[in-house]
Amino acid sequence: MSAAAELFLEKGYSKVSLDMIARRARVAVRTIYVKFGGKSGLFREILKSGRAVYFETMEDLETNQRPIREVLIDFGLRMHELMSSGVAVKLHGMVIAEAHHDPELAEAFFESGPQQTRQALQRYFSRPDVRTQLRDIPADQLAVHLLNCLMGDLLKRFLFACHAPAPADALLVEQRVDLFLNGAKA
């Protein structure tokens, strides 16, 4: 997986063949097919494992009993750290550049990264104890609104090289969570 990740970031997804990955990883192409089902399956696993690293120490959203604001600030800081990493910025740029010509790449990226995050937030916002504290807005929309508050502007700046990735600014994350909660709380 690390060999493939390096190649994808160096050359771009479409310019990397399974042969190239196999040579760099010193495995047979068949091994990649058996373990991952091909290049897109390998790409999905790389994304899942990368995402997991940032969220592995966070309390489970489905059982976390801390106040909503604290949970969302913790989540926001982790999202900012993930999205502002140099690898994530390059990855987003690569996917955007190649998505039109390779819809399977875009689908693999969305399903393994953003969709997983949205679903975790949706489950959190659907919890009965959390739900009673929020306005009658569908949980899937709450997830989208939170992510847009947290990352919308920063992601655009990173992708268009207007702003160098920087460590998470706790005050900024708190302000964005408060903005979200001011519109979402019952």
d(CA 17, CA 138): 42
Domain presence at residue 22: no
* Residue 165's pLDDT band (cuts 50, 70, 90): low
Domain presence at residue 94: yes
What is the span of the domain harbouring residue 174? Answer: 40-184
Give the chain's domain count: 1
d(CA 9, CA 46): 12
State pLDDT tens for residues 111-156.
Answer: 888 888 899 999 999 999 999 999 999 999 999 999 999 987 777 7
d(CA 6, CA 156): 24
Looking at residue 166, which CATH number applies to its domain? 1.10.357.10
Which residue has tokens 């091994």? 31
Written as one letter, the residue type at 33 is Y
- What percent of the chain clears pLDDT 70, i.e. is strictly above it? 93
What torsion do the CA atoms of 69, 53, 167, 94 make, to the nearest 10 degrees? -110
Let me know: does 87 contact 8? Beta carbons within 8 Å.
no
How large is the average pLDDT for residues 69-98?
Answer: 86
pTM value is 0.81
Which pLDDT belongs to residue 127?
96
Written as one letter, the residue type at 142 is L
Domain presence at residue 18: no
List the structure tokens of 27: 């495995």
Residue 162 scores a pLDDT above 70: no
Residue 164 scores a pLDDT above 60: no
Domain presence at residue 174: yes
Residue 60 scores a pLDDT above 60: yes
Which pLDDT belongs to residue 158?
66
Give the length of the chain.
186
Domain presence at residue 27: no
Let me know: does 79 contact 149? Beta carbons within 8 Å.
no
Domain presence at residue 138: yes
H helix or E strand, kind and range, residue 36: helix 29-36
State pLDDT tens for residues 18-31.
Answer: 999 999 999 999 99
Domain presence at residue 29: no
Domain presence at residue 15: no
